Structure 1
Amino acid sequence: MYIPKAFQETDRDTLLQFIRDNSFGLLVTTGNDGVPIATHLPLELLPDTDGQFQLIGHLAKANPQWKLLGQATPALAIFSGPHSYISSSWYDHVNVPTWNYLAVQITGRTRLLTDDETLAFLRQQVDKHEAFSKHPISVESMTEEYVRKEMRGIVAFTISIDTLQGAAKLSQNRDDKNYQSIVSELQQTGNPNAIELAKEMVARRPTITE
């Protein structure tokens, strides 16, 4: 993706943690007819047998996109964080409005999982998200017959991480006075996205206050 140098996020650990924290992504592949296909879905960041990180997810078998994924298909996974409009009225000088945001993109090749790999992945995914439930369930709490039957309706896959890019467009090119003004204005919007963005801006420039 296009990222001006001032807004490039290059620390690998930071990028991987961003994916963990914003794991509902967009999977984009190109169909055999050349038309892009995209699906919104959770994608988990997990190590493979060699300890290298990969993305793992699953699609409904009714979704035709899965039929492409067994062919080492080039794929793009997009993860978005908080974002917000930045009004030019927040500066102490004439300027144009813009948009601040956090985003990470991965490109890689796909592979379909076996049934046993799919079952292991589902156990991990359910346990991860049920940890926040008042009454957590698990794959083990269901009969194997039921789980295997439900698995017939999905197709799980992995995406290798061949490229990893991050954009943190957070007004880094502004001086402290205008940076502080943007943070203050974002906090006053009452918009959860804008408020989260302001927190990230404060964390990245210690001279700025909330």
Structure 2
Amino acid sequence: MYKSSIFEEKDADKVLAFMQAHSFVTLIGYDGIYPVATQIPVHIYHNEHEIRIVGHIMKKTDHYQAFAKNENVLALFTGAHSYISASSYQEPAVASTWNYSAVQAKGKIRLMNDDETREVIKHLTNSYEDPSKSPAAFHKMTDDYINKNLKAISGFEIRVEELNNVFKLSQNHPNANREKIVANLTQSNDKNAQEVAREMKEML
């Protein structure tokens, strides 16, 4: 990760909120030869002592085999990003750049048993489906269907040991440049650019 103190968010609550808002992560491990990765939705649990990342993966995959061999993993949380043209600057004859936000969580993964995995799937499903109304709610599935599919997946829990972030939003520029960048990004049809503009505006 590109680390610079000027781009680091010091407020732990804001970092956690970002993780929860961008919880479709890239989960990365190492199989002894190559890095392996998968993209999955997760839930983040926290208290004053620790942060845990919980989700599930398919068993017959390279990443499952890697996680079973090597418990050290990296979860990458990514937010909006956008090209920043130096034409926005008061002195534009310099390099352009890219603004973005990201959090990297390093920790040790524990693969779960069937009972734990069932609870993970139940919680995930009921987070997106209304249990009282949705025909796709967890309790609408038959036990035979659930048990059959549980054989193919494994829940997991990551206890976060190291958390790093970069919220690169032109903090190293004078306000005049930042205001012009926000104005230009706001006019873009790109939703990423508009989101970066919104985040920058909050910091001005």
Structures share fold, TM-score greater than 0.5: yes
Contact map agreement 1:130 1:137 (CA 8 A) in 2:
yes
Q: Quick check: 1:64 aligned with 2:72?
A: no
% identical equivalent positions: 35
One-letter amino acid of the counterpart of residue 107, structure 1:
K
Unaligned 5+ segments in structure 1 are 206-210
How far the C-alpha of 1:47 sits from its partner, in A, is 4.7
1:96 alignment counterpart: 95
1:19 alignment counterpart: 19
How far the C-alpha of 1:10 sits from its partner, in A, is 2.5
Q: Secondary structure at the match of 1:37?
A: strand
Q: Distance in 1 between matches of 2:126 and 2:150?
A: 17
How far the C-alpha of 1:71 sits from its partner, in A, is 4.8
| TM-score, normalisation: structure 1 | 0.89
1:29-52 alpha-carbon deviations (Å, 9 max, x no partner): 11123x11111111221259x973
2:112 alignment counterpart: 113
Contact map agreement 2:30 2:67 (CA 8 A) in 1:
no
Q: Quick check: 1:200 aligned with 2:199?
A: yes
One-letter amino acid of the counterpart of residue 148, structure 2:
K
Q: Quick check: 1:139 aligned with 2:138?
A: yes
2:75 alignment counterpart: 77
Q: Secondary structure at the match of 1:162?
A: strand
Q: Quick check: 1:53 aligned with 2:51?
A: yes
Q: Secondary structure at the match of 1:9?
A: coil
One-letter amino acid of the counterpart of residue 125, structure 2:
V
Q: Distance in 2 between matches of 1:120 and 1:148?
A: 12
Contact map agreement 1:42 1:57 (CA 8 A) in 2:
yes
1:23-81 alpha-carbon deviations (Å, 9 max, x no partner): 11111111123x11111111221259x97321112111221211232356110110100
How far the C-alpha of 1:160 sits from its partner, in A, is 1.0
Contact map agreement 1:24 1:43 (CA 8 A) in 2:
yes
How far the C-alpha of 1:142 sits from its partner, in A, is 1.0
| TM-score, normalisation: structure 2 | 0.92
1:104-134 alpha-carbon deviations (Å, 9 max, x no partner): 0000001111111111111111111225xx8
Q: Secondary structure at the match of 1:161?
A: strand
2:84 alignment counterpart: 86
Q: Secondary structure at the match of 1:189?
A: coil
Contact map agreement 2:30 2:70 (CA 8 A) in 1:
no
Aligned residue pairs, count: 201
1:161-193 alpha-carbon deviations (Å, 9 max, x no partner): 001111100001111111100000101111000
Q: CA RMSD in A?
A: 1.9
